[in-house]
Amino acid sequence: MTRTLFSEAGLSLEFAEEFYSVSRRDVIRGMHFQAPPQDHVKLVYCPVGAVLDVLLDLRSGPGYGRFASVTLSADDPHVLVIPKGVAHGFRSLTNDSMLIYKTSTEYAPSYDRGLRWDSFGFDWGDAVPVLSDRDRTHPKFSSFDSPF
């Protein structure tokens, strides 16, 4: 990706941090976001394996609560730009899936937030999910008061 390509797409992005996660099949991570003023734009892609990437709009307005998903994979490479105010999660579709994240702000633990992966109506498929303790304890979407 080049600065020119971002500009042509109407995006003005500079990335402050990059990190990655590796997950085995049926691991579900999410739904994660950072609250203002440390909220950030994310760019994600999957260079190894495949994931079902899921977005949940937390921004006040007509899109609030809507969700979307896309498969990201090494076999069909694409990048996904996730705006501020949109929670992000994914389900690993293969063993050893790798997801790369670039963010417009650095990770700030005191602004780190999440919502329960199963609380907003998205169908994650037939998998028996493998979840982290962190993701098990996020609050439900129905009790969320959006700061966006």
At residue 84, what is the residue type? K
Q: What is the spatial distance between Cα 57 and Cα 65, in angstroms, rounded to a whole number?
A: 5
| CB under 8 A, 24+ apart: contacts of 62-68 | 64/146, 65/120, 65/141, 67/120, 67/121, 67/122
Residue 26 DSSP one-character state: T
- The set of catalytic residues is 32, 101
